[in-house]
């Protein structure tokens, strides 16, 4: 996902005024290409940009007791004049109360830790799958995808049954004599980590598997021929080559984990601070749509800025290599 975009089609150099059939053909091709690109752009415009602008608009106005529960951003006054009522007060409010900043930081921390854990669990799985005999690979792939056939919510609920005090995990550990008192895992941050790692594991494994499977194994043979031991070859050959898969997997886990609401709500305790929960409280308990919209806009920025910076850096290094 982070590699540089495909090289732009060779720019048709401004040719002499002579209109050759070749140029006309290229013209229609270009038009077709734009049409094809237009579809996803329209999609983004309708389902991403338009809702975002609505949220942005609400974040600039004031809360009031009415339907809908916020004031108007733009009103029409006489003589065709329009009045603008926006202010950045809601954003300043987020800065005033440490709750919001703490929630953002805590979400980033939980998401980052979970991403690292998911990578540590996911990499060996993907590696094992990619190096397994070819006839097993489809079955292994299915095992990774299979949990998607059950609702995400039900799978998270199942973890409540496993982790609670009288749950399966505590029962098993007690019977094995490993613990005498049941462990308190449910309603703590540990349960949130378990929930996120479990739920997002396929998003880490699938891109890694796709990447590792394509790897040219003769490179490892070459390393061995040159006297490199397998463990070292893994670190200097396999891992760097799978970097795009690692990055893709990490983004796919990190981004949704930052805004996660269901897992901390069901598995986390009341101390688990995540921006998704803070947003919920703001929207439903305070009924303050403007402030919750401001929280959402900032969340988007928090996620988009690092992604953009990262992509730039990737592009630059790709260009430097080329």
Give the interface with other proteins as residue ranges (CB under 8 A). Answer: 63-69, 97-99, 102, 165-166, 187, 269-273, 278, 281, 283-288
CB nearer to other proteins: give 33 or 287: 287
Provide, rounded to whole angstroms, the least separation between the CB of residue 200 and other proteins: 24
SS3 5: coil
Provide, rounded to whole angstroms, the least separation between the CB of residue 265 and other proteins: 10
SS3 17: coil
Provide, rounded to whole angstroms, the least separation between the CB of residue 98 and other proteins: 8
Provide, rounded to whole angstroms, the least separation between the CB of residue 107 and other proteins: 13
Name the DSSP letter for residue 63.
Answer: B
Find the largest Cα–Cα distance for the chain: 90
- Token pair of 18 as six digits: 């002579």
Distance CA 231, CA 224 (A): 10
Contact 249, 122 (CB under 8 A): yes
- Token pair of 38 as six digits: 């237009």
Residue 6 burial class via C-beta count within 10 angstroms: exposed 0-12, middle 13-18, buried 19 and up: exposed
């Amino acid at each position: 996902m982070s590699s540089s975009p495909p090289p732009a089609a060779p720019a048709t150099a401004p040719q002499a005024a002579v209109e050759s059939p070749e140029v006309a053909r290229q013209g229609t091709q270009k038009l077709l290409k734009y049409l094809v690109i237009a579809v996803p752009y329209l999609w983004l415009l309708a389902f991403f940009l338009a809702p975002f602008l609505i949220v942005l608009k609400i974040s600039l106005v004031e809360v009031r007791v009415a339907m809908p529960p916020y004031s108007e951003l733009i009103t029409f006054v006489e003589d065709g004049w329009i009045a603008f009522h926006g202010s950045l007060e809601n954003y300043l409010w987020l800065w005033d109360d440490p709750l919001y900043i703490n929630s953002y930081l805590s979400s980033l921390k939980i998401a980052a830790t979970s991403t690292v854990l998911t990578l540590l669990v996911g990499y060996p799985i993907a590696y094992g799958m990619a190096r397994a005999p070819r006839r097993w690979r489809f079955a292994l792939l299915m095992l990774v995808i299979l949990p998607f056939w059950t609702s995400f919510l039900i799978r998270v609920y199942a973890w409540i049954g496993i982790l609670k005090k009288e749950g399966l995990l505590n029962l098993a550990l007690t019977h094995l004599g490993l613990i005498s008192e049941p462990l308190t895992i449910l309603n703590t941050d540990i349960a949130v980590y378990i929930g996120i790692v479990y739920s997002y594991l396929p998003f880490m494994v699938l891109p890694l598997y796709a990447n590792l499977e394509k790897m040219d194994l003769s490179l490892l043979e070459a390393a061995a021929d040159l006297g490199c031991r397998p463990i070292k070859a893994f670190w200097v050959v396999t891992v760097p080559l799978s970097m795009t898969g690692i990055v893709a997997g990490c983004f796919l886990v990190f981004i949704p984990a930052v805004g996660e609401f269901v897992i901390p709500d069901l598995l986390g305790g009341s101390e688990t601070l995540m921006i998704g929960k803070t947003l919920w409280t703001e929207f439903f308990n305070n009924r303050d749509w403007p402030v919750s919209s401001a929280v959402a806009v900032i969340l988007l920025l928090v996620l988009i800025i690092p992604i953009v910076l990262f992509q730039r850096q990737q592009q630059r290094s790709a260009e430097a290599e080329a």
